[in-house]
Amino acid sequence: MNLRPDDPDGLLAGLTPEQHDAVTTKASPLCIVAGAGSGKTRVLTHRIAWQAATGMIDPRRVLAVTFTRKAAHELRRRTRRLGIRDDIAAGTFHSAALAVLRRHWDANARKAPELLTSRRAFLAVINPRLDRSTVADLDTEIGWARARLLTPQRYPQSAAEAGRRPARGRDFIAEHYTTYEAAKRKRRMLDFDDLLALCHTTMQRDEKFAAAQRWRHRHLFVDEFQDVNPLQFALLESWLDDSSTLTVVGDPDQAIYGWNGADPEFIREVDRHLPGTTIVHLRTNFRSTPEILGAAGRVLDRDPQPAVKPSGDQPSVSVLEGTEEAASVARAVRGRHRPGAPWNRQAILARTNAQLLTIGRALEKAGIPTRTRGDAALSRRPEVTDLIEGWNPKTPLAAVLADEKVELSFGDDTEPGAMIEAFLDLARTHVALDPTASVGDFMAGLRRDDQSYRAGDAVELATFHSAKGLEWPVVHIIGMEQGYVPIAFARSRRALEEERRLLHVAATRAESELHLYWCRRRAKGDSLVEREPSPWLDAFITDTDDTTVSMPDIETIRATLAPEVEAADRVLRAVPEALSVTDETIRLRLLDWRCRVARASLVDPTAIVADDVIDLLVSRRPSSVAELREVGLLGPGRARRWGADVLDLLHDPTER
């Protein structure tokens, strides 16, 4: 909807009472604790627009801080639709810090230092004898240390207290951290964390300049506040004074970046870190069914979010062999693909990228299109590189955009066109935040974000982390085993709690269907290694579910099935007088089918279909899937899954 900027009442239409309170409260600082699927972005953008429409804030003095450029672009797009023009400044902590520093350098006639766009590549250059894995480890640990304001000297003890175990040891990391800092200084270079630290220092030391910046952006809004790290929080505090207003939005249950330095305590104890903060809650979930939210709540051992959607299927859990996993998941994806429906209604989520490689090959072999989040970075797309080939890195970005005449030789709905439009939108957003930015500044930040904007219809393959903020009608979660969920290196209590939250995030990406898979054995070298199910898999199994987390041996399975077989034999020996021969034949078919399905699922037969339901099927002889539901085949999911087979058994006289 496009609203007038002077229509505050229209901005409140359609909001729930809790959303209405979050939008209209005059409190500042304000912390909006927004659960998964609760309309967080809608509330944030409506609050900005409503406060602007009522004169509470000046939109020209707004700074909205996000964690990706894509999120910043989406925020600006939504506020424009709500009646605010291109006045909102929005960007990441890093891009906002760079914009502040650039103004300071320009005001003092200082040349901007060179920006180091890839810490990992730089570490490889200054440490030519280190292998790629060690360089990656260095990059991760230095990033964690910088986020938590740790010097090389303080790193070893702090890392030990946090339970971090780098492969080459903490002293090794500290030594090369020192070397890295010296190499940057020698070359007069800044990395992205330096931007935050230097901006904070500048705001502390130059009071006159700092006051001007605080006036320039008096109204601050911070998205995904649970992901803020100590360095970012220190910078945020430096941007505030007594005249500032502040709104932060986040969800402690979706705090999943502690490994990278984020600290969820900032939102959990927000009133301690930001005294006087008013806290409002958005709990109602508009995305997922009650069954999915029930399971997600059990993962965290708490009450589920209230659901707006009607009841649906329970999450399903499948037990597989590692050698069958990829093919089984591919069949499941194809089985849930409705004719004429897009493939992008489904996603496959895994704890690690490595798990997705085999799955992706299996889907492609089955003729199912796939897309992996993070591949085909926008800055490396061929149509984008062709577009910017003639752009001078030192030229102001605003001037280039004003002069650029893009002659598209393809339709608007093609992937190249979508890529170029996404690229230009991001460039315009960057100019709104930093009008003096050069082409080189924009490209450096874009490469760091490395966002994927692949268009086209495909099943999405994503890690739990990269799936955050996204949603699909059907979600498949693979690798629900110890070692993956939780990941093997998560040993401390804090790390394990984050792994629980990560699974909660993955589960709440599903709108209507959630399917989980775990393997009892996986190949390791030339042998098969026994696997244990995730300790949190129980959360997805209810009393009426058709699977079990336990994994008995074959003898236990046979013993479990024995009473069912004996019962079938007794029926064969003594046909009840109440049933005709035809009825008894159907009953035996159903019992035999139930045993076969139970063996395949490694569950008790009555977990597939209860005895009383068998009797109802025989007596009523339903002739459609709708009638099967009425009989009580445990919900629409099972009726859809087994309906055709059961109907054949009820009405086809041929022996199977």
pLDDT band at 546 (very low <50, low <70, confident <90, very high): very low
pLDDT band at 545 (very low <50, low <70, confident <90, very high): very low
Specify whether 351 is located in the same domain as 479. Answer: yes
pLDDT band at 632 (very low <50, low <70, confident <90, very high): low
pLDDT reading at 458 higher than 80: yes
Give pLDDT, residue 554.
Answer: 36
Inside any domain, residue 2: no
Which whole number is the average pLDDT over 521-525? 78
Per DSSP bridges, beta strands 472-477 and 510-519 are parallel
Inside any domain, residue 196: no
pLDDT reading at 635 higher than 70: no
Specify whether 371 is located in the same domain as 469. Answer: yes
Contacts (Cβ under 8 Å, ≥6 apart) of 397: 427, 430, 431, 437, 438, 439, 441, 442
Which whole number is the average pLDDT over 106-124? 89
Cis peptide before 252 (omega within 30 of 0): no
Specify whether 561 is located in the same domain as 533. Answer: no
653 or 400, which is more confident: 400
Task: Enumerate the β-bridge partners of residue 513.
Answer: 474
**Last residue of one domain, picked from the residues 432, 449, 466:** 449
73 or 382, which is more confident: 73
Q: Are 89 and 248 in contact (CB under 8 A)?
A: no
Lowest-confidence pick of 78-87, 252-261, 574-583, 643-652 = 574-583
Cα 549 to Cα 43, 522, 533, distances in angstroms:
39, 17, 7
Inside any domain, residue 1: no
**C-alpha span between 148 and 161 (Å, rounded):** 13
Q: Residue 266 corresponds to which amino acid? A: F
Q: List, as own/partner pairs, every contact residues 490-496 make where C-beta atoms lie below 8 angstroms and the sequence separation is at least 24, other chains included.
A: 491/163, 492/162, 492/163, 494/162, 494/163, 494/258, 495/163, 495/258, 495/259
Specify whether 489 is located in the same domain as 358. Answer: yes
Burial class (CB in 10 A: 0-12, 13-18, 19+), 645: middle
Lowest-confidence pick of 203-212, 277-286, 407-416 = 407-416
pLDDT reading at 539 higher than 50: yes
pLDDT band at 550 (very low <50, low <70, confident <90, very high): very low
User: Which tens digit of pLDDT belongs to each residue from 51-98?
Assistant: 999 999 999 999 999 988 888 888 988 998 898 876 789 999 999 999
pLDDT band at 656 (very low <50, low <70, confident <90, very high): very low
Report H helices in 404-509: 415-433, 439-449, 464-467, 493-507
**Last residue of one domain, picked from the residues 393, 421, 449:** 449
Inside any domain, residue 517: yes
The CATH number linked to 21 is: 3.40.50.300
Give pLDDT, residue 416.
Answer: 58
**C-alpha span between 368 and 508 (Å, rounded):** 24
CA angle, residues 551, 552, 555, in degrees to nearest 5: 150
Lowest-confidence pick of 1-10, 90-99, 270-279, 317-326 = 1-10
Inside any domain, residue 131: yes
User: Which tens digit of pLDDT belongs to each residue from 297-354?
Assistant: 999 999 999 999 999 999 999 999 878 889 999 999 999 998 888 999 999 999 988 8
Which whole number is the average pLDDT over 400-424? 58
Give pLDDT, residue 445.
Answer: 66
Query: pTM of the entire structure?
Result: 0.72
**Last residue of one domain, picked from the residues 233, 250, 282:** 282
Inside any domain, residue 100: yes
Residue 415: give the domain boundaries: 378-449
Specify whether 295 is located in the same domain as 369. Answer: yes
Inside any domain, residue 572: yes
User: Which tens digit of pLDDT belongs to each residue from 19-54?
Assistant: 999 999 999 999 999 999 999 999 999 999 999 999
Specify whether 58 is located in the same domain as 173. Answer: no
**C-alpha span between 48 and 52 (Å, rounded):** 6
Report H helices in 602-635: 611-620, 625-631
Specify whether 462 is located in the same domain as 531. Answer: yes
Inside any domain, residue 567: yes
- State the distance between the two ends of the chain, measured CA to CA, in whole angstroms: 58
Give pLDDT, residue 570.
Answer: 47
With b meaning 16 or more CB within 10 Å and e meaning fewer, what string describes 485-497? bbbeebeeeebeb
Specify whether 367 is located in the same domain as 382. Answer: no
Give the number of other Cβ atoms within 10 Å of residue 215's Cβ.
12
Give the chain's domain count: 5
Give pLDDT, residue 388.
Answer: 78
Specify whether 260 is located in the same domain as 141. Answer: no
Q: Are 102 and 112 in contact (CB under 8 A)?
A: yes
Which DSSP category does 481 fall into? B
Specify whether 488 is located in the same domain as 367. Answer: yes
Specify whether 96 is located in the same domain as 133. Answer: no
In the numeric block, which tokens belong to residue 145?
């240390």
Q: Residue 27 corresponds to which amino acid? A: A
Specify whether 31 is located in the same domain as 161. Answer: no
223 or 434, which is more confident: 223
